[in-house]
Amino acid sequence: MLTPMRSARFWIVLAILFAANLLITQFLTSAGQPPTVTISYNAFLDQVDANNVVSVTSTAEAINGLTKAPVADQSSGIKSTKFQTQRPAFATDDLETLLRQHNVVMNAKDPNAATPLWVTLLLSFGPAILLVLGFLYLSRRAASAGAGGILGSFGQSRARLYNAERPAVTFDDVAGIDEVKADLQEVVDFLREPQKYQRLGGTMPKGVLLIGAPGTGKTLLARAVAGEAKVPFFSIAASEFVEAIVGVGASRVRDLFAKAKAAAPSIIFIDELDAIGRSRSAVVRIGGNDEQEQTLNQILTEMDGFDSREGVIVLAATNRADVLDPALLRPGRFDRRVTVQAPDRRGRAAILRIHTRNVPLAPDVDLDQVAGQTPGMVGADLRSLVNEAALGAARKGESAVTTADFADAVERTLLGAERKIILSDLDRERIAYHESGHALLGLLVPGADPVKKVTIVPRGMALGVTLQSPVDDRFNYGEDYLRARMVGALGGRAAERLIYGVVTTGAENDLQQVTRIAHEMVVRWGMSPKVGPLNFSDGDGGMLQQRPYSEATAQLIDDEMRRIAEECQVQAEKLLEEHRPQLDALAKALLRNDSLDEQEILKVTGIKQPPAEPIAAPVLTR
């Protein structure tokens, strides 16, 4: 263990010694000597004429002297036999003759006297001596700690050790990902009863890699494993290994694994593994020595160097498994990979129950219904949603969180906060027709998501928003659904062209969605007859990865994307032109009320909502 620099008691005693030294040198040694007072030059001449001056010592124009009788300071009035004064440069009196006449002893000091040798030596070599002493001190500390060289304290691992006897998190605090908990339960059983597996010759995987999108609960799962197994849990972010000094990261890796082995059975958790585990072949390196590569090599070496029977298991988390170095994923290292998916509706309801355990809920709150309104949200999103609802209830002075508070929180999370900006009547009308185009096509296009709300109240970065929410979760998308998404996104632009004959900049976000979907249809999902059933996506994140197709294929991809988008644009314009009365009615209702919910939209348009195909996430068109 690294010894501390010094205790607080040491520094307190040292400060007392310095203070005592100051008292002795400044006060005790000068206690028997009279103080030096300052007098004017006129007063000095008067004292000479009165034969009261015994001796003087001059340094350039400054004069110090001693008198027979005490003289008073010109400002404070203190009296002393020692005085000082300054002779004016313009004085023309013959001071030497005057002093000789009154038998005053005269002394002088050289104003340009040479600096003492000891002062010169101290200024010249003092900083270097201090630097050498500091270097020797750090080296001794590092050597006593066994860390080797000047890197001592830098090479120590910064992993946080959680108390195994009082775990903060268990599997009871994790919900919505039951299949993942089942996979990790085997790790817990091995740490609790290793002999159960070892008696049959089985060994536990050395490394378990948790893969999932941000906020899905990877870190929470790792802490829950440690809490269930009741073993020491060393947690560190991968970025904490790397410093500017080459070699520090590898030293910290060695120290971390040494501590884990000493505390075995134990768990090492490395968060955001991709910070140091990126593929070495995909990174441009300058020179032959790289800190990130050294740290990665040390992790690979350490995982090869210990036996899983020692009771040390390495957990790691990442949301970029595609960029990890293949050496990390081979058998014997992170050979077990657990994917943490976003929760389904039932899982979201379970997560909401966990996050609302300490939140007073009104009787009208149905968490299953709230879960149905939040498809695509992960655990972190749901925790933020509950917090937003609680803050809203507190602002209103309520004693419990109501359904209305959750509805406001969902809108605030999905649509953004309301903005108080003043729009002209023409702008409000354009926005109303734009959002009405989105909403109307959401009702007309088969398979489109149900339209839950449309508003022309500015929220977030948008001047108006149409919210389409799915009926249930789904993880597979048909080409008809993707085209319905594109037609709905182009509805605002089509409505503007139909009513005003021109388009505005308000469709920027819509066009981004259309471009992204069209690109994925052609490049990833093989939904273009001309391009064929091929996948041209670059999924490994390589910086120097070349396109796996020719320039002619690239031009074909561009042409197919444009064709799909233009077909959807034609369909959107045709549907809106055929249902112009409903478009006008919906826009006028929006201008009157600013916002319309699902039932109000159906009532205004007179269109019955067909059964919607379930999908995975809400759609926002602006």
Q: Where in the chain is the domain with CATH 1.20.58.760?
A: 425-621
pLDDT higher than 60, residue 206: yes
Nearest to 54 by CA among 121, 107, 109: 107
List, for residues 364-409, the tens digit of each pLDDT value: 888 888 888 888 888 888 888 999 999 988 988 888 899 888 888 8
Task: Quote the CA–CA distance of 153 and 148 in Å, as a whole number.
Answer: 10
Give the CATH number of domain 34-109: 3.30.720.210
In the chain, % of residues over pLDDT 70? 78
Long-range CB contacts for residues 73-80, cutoff 8 Å, separation at least 24: 73/37, 73/38, 73/39, 74/37, 74/38, 74/39, 74/40, 74/43, 75/38, 76/37, 78/35, 78/37, 79/37, 80/34, 80/35, 80/36, 80/37
List, for residues 580-612, the tens digit of each pLDDT value: 999 999 999 999 988 888 888 888 888 876 544
Q: Where in the chain is the domain with CATH 3.40.50.300?
A: 160-340
**Residues 6 or more apart in contact with residue 467 via CB below 8 angstroms:** 411, 414, 415, 451, 452, 453, 454, 618, 619, 620
- pLDDT band, residue 76 (cuts 50/70/90): confident
Q: Where in the chain is the domain with CATH 1.10.8.60?
A: 345-415
* Phi/psi at 513 (5° precision): -65, -45
List, for residues 561-585, the tens digit of each pLDDT value: 999 999 999 999 999 999 999 999 9
The listed CATH number (3.40.50.1110, 3.30.200.20, 1.20.58.760, 1.10.540.10) that belongs to domain 425-621: 1.20.58.760
List, for residues 529-543, the tens digit of each pLDDT value: 998 898 887 654 444
**Residues 6 or more apart in contact with residue 390 via CB below 8 angstroms:** 359, 401, 405
Q: What pLDDT is attached to residue 486?
A: 93
pLDDT higher than 50, residue 428: yes
Q: Which is more confidently placed, 471 or 104?
A: 104
Pairing of strands 207-212, 266-271: unpaired
Give the CATH number of domain 345-415: 1.10.8.60
Q: Where in the chain is the domain with CATH 3.30.720.210?
A: 34-109
pLDDT higher than 90, residue 516: yes
**Residues 6 or more apart in contact with residue 249 via CB below 8 angstroms:** 241, 242, 243, 276, 291, 292, 294, 295, 298
Q: Which residue has the tokens 């937003």?
A: 388
pLDDT higher than 50, residue 189: yes
CA distances from 537 to 42, 118, 534, 540, 588 (A): 96, 74, 9, 9, 44
> What is the fold, at CATH topology level, of the domain defined by 160-340?
Rossmann fold (3.40.50)
Which of the residues are catalytic?
Answer: 435
